[in-house]
Amino acid sequence: MLAPLQGVTNRALRACFIDRVRPDTVFTEFMQARNQGPKALSAADRREAGAVHGNVPLVAQLIGHRPEVLVLAAQTAQAAGARHLNFNLGCPFGRHTTGLSGGALLSRPDLLPEIVFALRAAISGSFSIKLRAGYDDLEQIFSLLPLFAAAQVDFLVLHPRTVVQKYGGNADHTITARVVKETPLPVIANGDIVSAAQGKEILQTTKAAGLMLGRGAIADPRLFSRLRGLAPERPNAGELQQDFVDYLGDLLTRYEPLFCGEQQILAKLKEVPAFVTDPRLLPLAQQLRRARTLQDFRALLSF
């Protein structure tokens, strides 16, 4: 699965991934359940909810904390074409962790039963939950598993950090392995998967039902192919750089009709090299992030 990354996994990037490496499932950026007007979701989110490409299942992700608003948002997303919905209990950043949305809601587990059962009743297709292992305690997840099973959630996506950790430290996949053993629900492992070797080890040691690839795949979309044995697990520097340049060139072409003006296109493109950690790509990634114009960015792709 391609992870939802706010501000990054827009419909053009998702289409790029589908056409290049075909994830089994893709997710929208999270959709804020609003308490404004009859639609509950913004017009942009309604367009995203139905933006299926290449027959790859699209999961619309909701974020919020009021059951009645979340239910209306789920109904609105389904009316717009969404067949699969996910509830965000993991986002650790910014204003979305205030007002008890995202990962902050894990600080009030007493509110979760009403929300989870209400969403399950409102969602006609698959219903999944993406969550951190806890708000400030990695063991919190184990107290929530009976609720998720009782509500007949279809699957869980687990990032085994706490909300307060944000992206500090390491994702603790020993927690993932324990969760797999203690719940009848399928568990998708997420967090710190930046190489095929890591992904395969996590699958083997946790017995998870699958993987969700986020930051590692944004830096190297071919990580999907590497995990499937369709591309070298350890590409040489030349192959890695050529793949990266081709990917960004493809993304640039897709972004031009979607975003408004060169500066917005450039800003969106610069989000991708921000995820690069491989030392063989870092010099180019840093140059791309310093590009002041779209022309400069293009020139760097023509090395």
**Is residue 39 over pLDDT 90?**
no
**Is residue 223 over pLDDT 70?**
yes
Q: Is 61 helix (H, G, I), strand (E, B) or coil?
A: strand
Closest CA to 83 of 92, 74, 91: 74
Centre a 10 Å sphere on the Cβ of residue 69 and count the other Cβ atoms it contains.
Answer: 18
Q: Is 229 exposed, middle or buried (0-12, 13-18, 19+ CB in 10 A)?
A: exposed
Pairing of strands 31-32, 26-27: unpaired
- Please give the average per-residue pLDDT across 151-162, as a whole number: 98
Token duo for residue 212:
């969700």
Query: What's the pLDDT at 45?
Result: 93
Confidence of residue 176 (pLDDT cuts 50, 70, 90): very high
Token duo for residue 223:
């990580």
Query: What's the pLDDT at 303?
Result: 58
* Amino acid present at 22: R
**Is residue 244 over pLDDT 90?**
yes
Q: Answer whether 302's CB lies under 8 Å from 246's CB.
A: no
Q: Answer whether 300's CB lies under 8 Å from 287's CB.
A: yes
- Please give the average per-residue pLDDT across 69-94, as a whole number: 92
Q: Answer whether 18's CB lies under 8 Å from 53's CB.
A: yes
Token duo for residue 184:
């009848």
In whole angstroms, give the CA distance from residue 271 to residue 219. 10
- Please give the average per-residue pLDDT across 230-259, as a whole number: 94
Q: Mean pLDDT over all residues of the chain?
A: 94
Helix or strand run (H / E) with residue 241: helix 237-255
**Is residue 98 over pLDDT 70?**
no
Query: Would you say the pTM of this structure is higher than 0.85?
Result: yes
Closest CA to 258 of 16, 74, 3: 16
CA angle 54–55–57, rounded 5-degree value = 120
Domain boundaries, the chain: 11-227, 237-300
Helix or strand run (H / E) with residue 73: helix 67-79
- CATH of region 11-227, choose from 3.20.20.70, 3.30.360.10, 3.90.870.10, 3.30.565.10: 3.20.20.70
* Amino acid present at 91: C
CA angle 162–167–170, rounded 5-degree value = 75
Looking at residue 91, what DSSP letter applies? Answer: -
Residue 35 or 8, more confident: 8
